[in-house]
Amino acid sequence: MIGQLHSSRVFSTEGVSEMGDESVEVFSPEFWQAFAPEMVLVIGLALVFIIPNLGNSKFRIPLTKVRVPWFLGGRRFKFTGSPAIPGMLATATLFTALGMMIIETIDGDMASTTVTSGDIVLLQIDNFSRFFEIVFLAAVLLASMASLDRIPAHTFSGKKSLDEMYDNRRQADFYILMLTTALGMSTVALAQDLFVLFIGLELASLATYVLVGFHKESKSGAESGVKYFIVGSVASGIGLYGLSLLYLEFGSLQLATLAANWDDGSILGTIALGLVLVGFGFKVSAAPFHFAAPDAYAGANSPVAGVLATASKAMGMIGLIRVLLVVALPDSETDGSAVWLYTLATLSVVTMTWGNLAALGSTNPKRMLAYSSVAHAGYMMAALTAVGAWKWGEVDAPIEYAEAIVAAVLFHLFVLVAFKLGAFLVLGLLEMEGGASRLSALSGLARRDPLIGTAMFIFMLALAGVPPLAGFMSKFLVVAGIVSASVGELSTNGTISFSDIHWIWWLALAMFLNSAISVFYYLRIGVVMFLDVPEEGRRKPLPHGASIRMAIWICLVATIILGLSGDTLIDMCYRAAESLNLA
């Protein structure tokens, strides 16, 4: 039926096969070599499945008394049966894959590799995709390290409590889900076909739905898991329906084919695009698709909530960038696609304002950080609007202006892993002694543990955009990029009148005002930690937790260093932005 409907319309596929420096066939020897880091994730996932189940089981050959060792099941071997094995395997797997990607990318000489199946382009390795994979694996690795203490494996002999037995029994389940999340996110970063992108998105989403409701024995965990699953499933269903309409309109879901033929499409393509963006809007927690985020963050354990606030948001931004900036970016010669420009500008202001105002009245630290994530989504959407205004021809500026804005968004997504995830890990440390669902749980934290209290305060300052921390640098780059695009090359004339400045300048002003609003609820955390008296029953030192503390220190060092000297990271962001080929 779809083929018959397309018989009257033929679209060009020019440029589809010229997307990379090297093209390899899927599952060829070159494919395995290029995708070595991803294969490490797959192998690690298989090992987490197999090793904890190794035992002395045997099966009997039918009609005989001969028993052959099977090794899967039975009484577990002492070494492989330890409940600590899955966590160590998962953490080592993520560390190895992340290290391989950083070594490949950091020198800037990485060649682009395109994976094809016949004439269909499936995946592409370039600076852009590798950058996002590094963001994903860094976030999941830090969360896995923290979870070694947040959901500890109790290896001591003797009688265990019900909670300790719960923790031991679900070690493998938790880390399988974490690795599945990382693998799905990597697929999204590499995808050059919207259907492949959707598969990766759902692979990661299904794992995160379970992770949010992982502590199903608690009321908040079960409730948040169900809410997140229902809302996410609806958003995914709408997005999948949009993909079907895109295929109906263009006969392909290849990004290059859609981009080449977008201007020749009808209103059906625009409707389909809007439906697809619903799924991505849910992932970035953009208004009005953000309602499930606060409940999900509040019910999930803090390391998982940190992954949702950083890696999951970056995954949604990939979708927005791929669809809005690669496929449907307004062209200077046509007005048909520009409807999204004004829509995105409006949604960005609503999202950042709604998120900050809601955070002002929140007394739950995790819900406050959730609404903060909503506001940050608005900041990044404002940046994408500025790129669209440049492409549409409303701004007279060279391509370097647009690439600088995209690089600023990528920098912001990366440093969020440092201070946003770090803040959630501090809350995870508090959860180890009884919960962090009230602002009063942070009372007197600086007295109980001065180092952790100081780290949390620095994370809050970074989120507020206080110099010289990484949060200030990321916000400064985004605002400066928007302002530069609004002025364009008018600055070369010597004098600029306010009427000559493009309207996207107001987006930068909205971002500045919302950042000022956010300072109140971020500094409120500092007041509670340093000036309030600890709660009754929470006046002892915090739990030790070597792994979670190490993850917090890594986040703290990155927050400071990337604010003072982030040149290497900024160069990576620029190379990733250039690989998008926005011109």
Place of tokens 């052959």: 68
- C-alpha atoms less than 13 angstroms from C-alpha of 88 in its C-beta half-sphere: 10
DSSP character at residue 157: S
Least Cα distance to 44 among 172, 135, 134, 169 occurs for 172
Higher pLDDT, 409 or 4: 409
Assign 497 a pLDDT band (cuts: 50, 70, 90).
low
Assign 336 a pLDDT band (cuts: 50, 70, 90).
low
pTM for the predicted model, two decimal places: 0.90
CA triplet 499, 502, 505: central angle to 5 degrees? Answer: 105
Cis bond leading into 294, ω under 30°?
no
pLDDT single digits (tens) 568-581: 899 999 999 988 87
| Edge-to-edge strands, sheet with 22-25 | 22-25, 113-117, 120-125
Higher pLDDT, 482 or 390: 482
Exposure string of 487-511, with b = 16+ CB inside 10 Å and e = fewer, is bbebeeeeeeeeeebbebbebbebb
Residue 172's CB is within 10 A of a number of other CB atoms, namely: 20
C-alpha to C-alpha distance for 499 and 66, rounded to whole angstroms: 90
| Residue 324, CA distances (Å) to 19, 140, 226, 389, 431 in order | 18, 27, 31, 12, 40
Residue 236: both structure tokens together: 């995914």
Please tell me the predicted confidence (pLDDT) of residue 536: 78
pLDDT single digits (tens) 149-182: 888 777 766 677 777 777 777 888 899 999 999 9
Contact indicator for 210, 177 with CB cutoff of 8 Å = yes
Percentages (nearest 5) of helix, strand, coil residues in the chain: 70, 5, 25
Cis bond leading into 288, ω under 30°?
yes
Assign 15 a pLDDT band (cuts: 50, 70, 90).
very low
C-alpha to C-alpha distance for 562 and 349, rounded to whole angstroms: 27
C-alpha to C-alpha distance for 142 and 304, rounded to whole angstroms: 10
Average pLDDT in the 214-222 region?
Answer: 78
Of 271-285, 337-351, 452-466, give the range with the top mean pLDDT: 452-466
> Per-residue pLDDT for 40 more than 90?
yes
151 phi and psi, to 5 degrees? -120, 75
C-beta contacts of 100-107 below 8 A and 24+ residues apart: 100/36, 100/37, 100/40, 101/37, 101/130, 101/133, 101/134, 101/137, 102/134, 104/37, 104/130, 105/130, 105/131, 105/134, 105/572, 106/568, 106/572
Residue 341: both structure tokens together: 């420009």
pLDDT single digits (tens) 436-475: 778 888 888 888 889 999 999 999 999 998 888 999 999 9
Place of tokens 């543990």: 449
Determine the residue type at 365. Answer: P
Average pLDDT in the 368-385 region?
Answer: 91
DSSP character at residue 72: B
Of 3-12, 314-323, 431-440, give the range with the top mean pLDDT: 314-323
Assign 395 a pLDDT band (cuts: 50, 70, 90).
low
Average pLDDT in the 385-406 region?
Answer: 79
3-state SS assignment for residue 146:
helix
Of 109-113, 263-267, 507-511, give the range with the top mean pLDDT: 507-511
Average pLDDT in the 387-412 region?
Answer: 82
> Per-residue pLDDT for 342 more than 90?
no
> Per-residue pLDDT for 496 more than 70?
no
Percentage of residues of the chain with pLDDT beyond 90:
40
Which residues face 125 on adjacent strands? 113
Residue 117: both structure tokens together: 């199946």
Place of tokens 């690690």: 44
Please tell me the predicted confidence (pLDDT) of residue 18: 42
Please tell me the predicted confidence (pLDDT) of residue 26: 87
Higher pLDDT, 399 or 498: 399
C-alpha to C-alpha distance for 503 and 500, rounded to whole angstroms: 9
Percentage of residues of the chain with pLDDT beyond 70:
91
C-alpha to C-alpha distance for 136 and 213, rounded to whole angstroms: 21
| Residue 327, CA distances (Å) to 154, 237, 261, 324, 378 in order | 51, 21, 9, 6, 21
Least Cα distance to 120 among 197, 200, 192 occurs for 192
- Residue 344 — left, alpha, or beta (φ > 0 → left; ψ -120 to 50 → alpha)? alpha
Please tell me the predicted confidence (pLDDT) of residue 503: 80
**Sign, Cα dihedral of 106, 181, 426, 96:** negative
Contact indicator for 179, 141 with CB cutoff of 8 Å = no
Contact indicator for 547, 102 with CB cutoff of 8 Å = no
Please tell me the predicted confidence (pLDDT) of residue 499: 61
Contact indicator for 111, 195 with CB cutoff of 8 Å = no
Determine the residue type at 469. Answer: L
Please tell me the predicted confidence (pLDDT) of residue 285: 83
DSSP character at residue 114: E
Please tell me the predicted confidence (pLDDT) of residue 284: 85
> Per-residue pLDDT for 124 more than 70?
yes
Contact indicator for 282, 235 with CB cutoff of 8 Å = yes
- Hey, which bits of 256-342 come out as E strands? none
Assign 407 a pLDDT band (cuts: 50, 70, 90).
very high
Residue 511: both structure tokens together: 């971002």
Assign 138 a pLDDT band (cuts: 50, 70, 90).
very high
> Per-residue pLDDT for 6 more than 50?
no
**Sign, Cα dihedral of 236, 240, 245, 249:** positive
DSSP character at residue 83: T
Contact indicator for 348, 172 with CB cutoff of 8 Å = no
Residue-level length of the chain: 583
Min mean pLDDT across 16-30, 177-191, 259-273 is at 16-30
